[in-house]
Amino acid sequence: MESCNKAFCTLKENLASTPVLAYPTLNDMFILDMNASSVAIVAVHSQVQNGTEKVIAYFSRDRIEAKHMPENDSFCGAVTRNGSRAVI
């Protein structure tokens, strides 16, 4: 179990440090990839900068954390570039 925790911590550090995360630029179009299920909501916010797609931010939320809001109440829908729909 300790090796799993160590691997997770290493992965988390690598995903949140340079060169993985880039600063956004105002001249480039933003890309939002989203996915949602009955269990979780996830998103990746990125941009193509100098011909390379770079991640600006990651987002994930357990749907249980948003339990106080009914599913059919306030929501925001988005269509991602791969055509899938996400409702959050």
CA distance 21 to 70: 33
Whole-model pTM?
0.55
pLDDT tens, residue by residue, 51-60: 988 889 988 8
pLDDT tens, residue by residue, 15-71: 777 677 889 999 888 888 888 887 888 888 899 999 988 889 988 888 765 555 555
Q: Are 42 and 60 in contact (CB under 8 A)?
A: yes
Write out the CATH class of domain 22-87. alpha beta
